[in-house]
Chains A and B, each alone.
Chain A
């Protein structure tokens, strides 16, 4: 039987009178790739924010490995083993590629300010580990040759990859990808699909928001569909494709 590691229980997020996420429950098993789809404004990113502690859910709880993580701060959620990327690329502009990824290693190292002021052993170990980890992740993502360039000087597709690389450096068990394929061309999308599969083979569990159905239908084991904040369908890709509610949500929105 599958090992359930993340579980959202009736999570709601209200902003004043607006209900952005309405009683959404979902679960994620170890080693799965699970997709969240839905029209624009369906509450997908808000739901990510609820899981990762960016927002405090109005109702409901989020459990990670049996532990209630509702209302934890984003940095605590990352420390526990859940790391995310952003829909609108949020790299550190004035830092180099390798520094961006070294920031990702933050939660897995522990040199404090005193260690660094006096260049103690802890500082040296931290620097060594951060550098090595960053390099290995950059090699995995194929960005190693650009490591001393500024993050924003990379082409768009590479910036998306760097977002993932930075998240991987935090050594997460669960990776939350928010529209990693947005703005990518055909070739980049194919590479992305292969890369996400590779990540699963490496043992990461992945929750992914994506508009590109090619990505979703190709890689996801299961899919959740949100519309107007509500969960309207869930199931295997083949089931979702033929689900009348889903078709209505999409076509009703687009036509």
Chain B
């Protein structure tokens, strides 16, 4: 019973982690709470299933991967477009951080309601093309796809960490996050690097969306909203801007939520994430693995 709950909690946690990793990539570079991230996640799921079933008509693993490829490209480009069209002008004007935050809220509203208008409110089936089955460990049931989600979450974390810490573009990202002005003086094309960050972050969101669609076998227009807010909680808990923090924050929130539902009652399970977030922000705003927030007079 306990291990079953742990597996379920870890799976839900992995979904939060998947979304939070891309969110924290952007936050790490720009210190921007990107509310539109969860919309790209939902958009990624819709575009994958749309490409796979209606565009290609191939409900096969190959169709899934082609659909996912199309989805990644479009979602990534839209993320880059959001930055170029709305966030870059604000940066150039040296606008207040809250201005950029509200811009992403606006983009979120646009994407969510556009999808609502195009695909309707009712949930859409998302075919599970893999049909991987399940394994039994004692009396605990584990679906193979649960393991895959968990592994993908870790791989994405490692992959993005590699990108940030071991590649040229990653060096540029870290330089910008520490001091954008100095980075510019060192010859880094700050705006391009930031746009690429959004491109990667949104593309990762598309992967997460497609994974979730496959796991739950249905998607709806609210999937972004609920996971999006939870992923902000995960980010706060793990440490805003930290990639390993995003993963652990997601895992912990998922497990705590599931345990709470199993042993206390399911009524307030959705409130747990926010209560955790609330407490972390009040006690240790930098989270578990985040960098200390400097204050200065």
Give every chain A residue within 8 A of B293 (Cβ-Cβ). Answer: none
Say whether A54 faces chain B, with CB atoms less than 8 Å apart: yes
User: Which DSSP category, helix, strand, loop or mixed, fits chain A's interface?
Assistant: loop
Interface positions of B from 244 to 297, Cβ below 8 Å from A:
297
Interface size class of B (residues with CB under 8 A): under 10
The number of A-B residue pairs with CB atoms under 8 Å apart is 3
Chain B min CB distance to A20 (Å): 12
Scan A36-68; emit 1 where CB is below 8 A from any B CB, else 0. 000000000000010000110000000000000
Once bound together, how far apart are the Cα atoms of A49 and B297, in whole Å? 9
What are 3 A-B contacts defined by CB distance under 8 Å?
A49-B297, A54-B297, A55-B297
Scan B164-198; emit 1 where CB is below 8 A from any A CB, else 0: 00000000000000000000000000000000000
Chain B positions 111 through 135: 1 when the CB is less than 8 Å from some CB of chain A, otherwise 0: 0000000000000000000000000
In whole Å, how far is B50's beta carbon from the nearest beta carbon of chain A? 48
Residues of A within 8 A of B297 (CB): 49, 54-55
What separation, in Å, do the CA atoms of A240 and B297 have in the docked complex?
A: 30
A74 nearest CB neighbor, chain B only: B297
CB distance from A50 to the nearest CB of B (A): 11
Q: State A171–B297 Cα separation when bound (angstroms).
A: 24
A55 to B297, CA, bound (A): 9
B99 to chain A, nearest CB (A): 16
> Whose C-beta in chain A lies nearest to the C-beta of B292?
A16
**Which of chain B's residues have a CB closer than 8 A to the CB of A49?**
297
Q: CB-nearest residue of chain A relative to B297?
A: A54
CA distance A203 to B178 in the complex (A): 48
Q: Which residue of B lies closest to A54 (CB)?
A: B297
Task: Report the separation of the CA atoms of residues A163 and B292 in the bound assembly, to the nearest whole angstrom.
Answer: 32
Shortest beta-carbon contacts, A-B, top 3: A54-B297, A49-B297, A55-B297
In angstroms, Cα B297 to Cα A54, docked, is: 8
Chain B: which residue is nearest A46 at the CB level?
B297
Q: A54–B295 Cα gap in the complex (Å)?
A: 12
What 1/0 flags go to B73-102 for Cβ under 8 Å of A? 000000000000000000000000000000
Q: CB-CB < 8 A to A54: which residues of B?
A: 297
